[in-house]
């Protein structure tokens, strides 16, 4: 009987270790954030009822020029969306994005990065769809990094 308990304990420790390793590689809330976005985007009647526009950096701005400032812009615009709607899935999305943004390694960017207000305004569905693509790219980049590097 004692041997079985030791085996259970060892299995539990291994499970915790591998879960923690996998979560660290994926980044905090990244998968959950993508799932939250999918949930919001899969509600067409709610998306159509949102009568606002949001500053929306392009995917190229994120991938090629100013990833940190464009991601911060998305975080700030989701906060605007929260104040416009007050809906709980959008509040959860904002919390997840704030967490992702605060844990990202802050890299020096060019002073030439535009301010958030310089991007074109888009409807929430376009804004959230672009954000989803950015998060998927961010998640993929973290998963492809060698084990010895940190996420960023």
Pick the most confident of 8-17, 75-84, 100-109: 75-84
- Asked if residue 150 belongs to a domain, the reply is no
What is the SS3 assignment for 113? coil
Inform me whether the pLDDT recorded for 82 exceeds 80. Answer: yes
The structural domain count of the chain equals: 1
pLDDT by residue (tens digit) across 23-50?
444 454 478 888 999 999 998 777 778 8
**Which residue is associated with the tokens 């923690």?**
20
CATH of the domain at 59: 1.20.1250.70
Q: Considering only CA atoms, which of 1, 3, 28, 24 is closest in space to residue 149?
A: 24
The helices-and-strands tally (H runs, E runs) of the chain is 7, 2
pLDDT by residue (tens digit) across 44-73?
777 778 888 999 999 998 888 888 899 999
**What is the per-residue pLDDT for 144?**
65
- Asked if residue 151 belongs to a domain, the reply is no
Model-level pTM? Answer: 0.71
- Asked if residue 63 belongs to a domain, the reply is yes
Burial annotation 32-62 (CB, 10 A radius, 16+ → b, else e): ebbebbeebbeeeeeeeebeeebbbbeeebb
- Asked if residue 103 belongs to a domain, the reply is yes
The domain of 14 spans: 2-144
- Asked if residue 39 belongs to a domain, the reply is yes
**What is the per-residue pLDDT for 88?**
86
Q: What is the DSSP string of 47-82?
A: HHH----EE---HHIIIII-HHHHHHHHHHHHHHHH
Q: Please work out, in degrees rounded to the nearest 5, the angle formed at the alpha carbon of residue 115 by the alpha carbons of 104 and 124.
A: 80
Average pLDDT of span 112-127: 93
Q: How far apart are CA 19 and CA 15, in angstroms?
A: 6
Q: Please name every residue paired with 121 in a beta bridge, in sequence order, or none if there are none.
A: 55
Reading the block at residue 43, the tokens are 């509600």
């Amino acid at each position: 009987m004692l041997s079985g308990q030791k085996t259970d304990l060892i299995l539990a420790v291994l499970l915790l270790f591998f879960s923690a390793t996998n979560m660290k590689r994926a980044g905090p809330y990244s998968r959950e954030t993508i799932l939250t976005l999918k949930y919001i985007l899969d509600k067409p009647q709610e998306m159509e009822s949102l009568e606002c526009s949001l500053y929306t950096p392009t995917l190229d701005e994120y991938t090629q020029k100013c990833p940190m400032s464009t991601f911060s812009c998305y975080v700030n615009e989701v906060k605007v969306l929260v104040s416009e709607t007050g809906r709980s899935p959008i509040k959860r999305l904002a919390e997840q994005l704030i967490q992702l943004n605060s844990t990202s390694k802050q890299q020096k960017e060019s002073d030439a990065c535009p301010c958030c207000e310089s991007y074109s305004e888009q409807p929430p569905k376009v804004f959230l769809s672009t954000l989803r693509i950015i998060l998927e790219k961010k998640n993929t980049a973290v998963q492809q990094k060698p084990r010895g590097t940190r996420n960023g």
